[in-house]
Amino acid sequence: MMVFVSGAARSGKSEAAEICAIRLSRGGRLHYIATAQAMDEEMTERIRRHQERRAAQAAHWTVWEAPFSSQEIAASLHPDDVVLLDCLTTWLAHELFFGENWKTDATAQAVACRMLDEVRAWADACRAVVIVSNELFAGGVPDDPGTFRYMKTLGLLHQQLVAEAAAAAVVECGLLRVKKGRWPG
C-alpha cells in the first residue's frame, strides 16, 4: 500500500506522515528514508529537528540517510514493515541535478520511471510506504530549462503516485486534508 502526503515547505507534512507511518506499523519495523543532505546551516538545523522529533516518539526508526541504496532497503524489508520516504522532491533533485539527467525530457523521464519502480518495490516488500513530497511551483512556470524540467518531472511523479496510492492528503498550516481514500489510523 502507498500513502501520499504533500504540502508546502514547513506545513507539517513530515510530522503528519510520521504519525501515519507509526499508526500503520502495528508493531512492525519502521524505516525512515531521509533524502536531505546537510549542505548549509539551515538544512543542518532542519535535519536535527526531524531527528529530535523522531527520537521523542515512542517508535524506533531504522534511518536510511541519503544517498541510499534502494536495493539494500528493499532487501531489508519484511511484510509487516512500514517505510516513510521524506521527501520525494529532494530525492528527485539529487537524481536530476547531481549529473546530467536534467538536460533532456528522456533522461528526466527515465529517472522518474526508475524512482517509481523503486517505490513500488518497497511497497511490494512491506505493509506500506508513506511518501512525503512538496507542493512546488504554484506561482507559475519557471524560466530556466532545468527548473522547468524538474517541475514537469515532479508533477508526473505526483500524479502517478497519487493514482496508485490508497490514500492521499495535503497538509496546510498543520491541518491535514484528505484528498483520496481513507486516512490510515
* Binding-site residue set: 7-14, 34-36, 65, 86
Which sign, positive or negative, has the C-alpha torsion 70, 76, 81, 86? negative
Torsion of CA 22, 24, 30, 36, to 10 degrees: -70
- Cα–chain center distance at 57: 20
Query: Binding site for GTP: residue ranges?
Result: 7-14, 34-36, 65, 86
Cell of 16: 503528519
Is 50 in the active site?
A: yes
Query: In one letter, which amino acid is 156?
Result: L
Q: Kindly state the cell numbers that stand for 138.
A: 504554484
Give the span between the Cα atoms of 143 and 180, in whole angstroms. Answer: 32
* Cα 61 from Cα 77, distance rounded (Å): 13
Catalytic residue (choose from 50, 60, 78, 158): 50
Residue 101's identity, in one-letter code, is N
Catalytic residues: 50
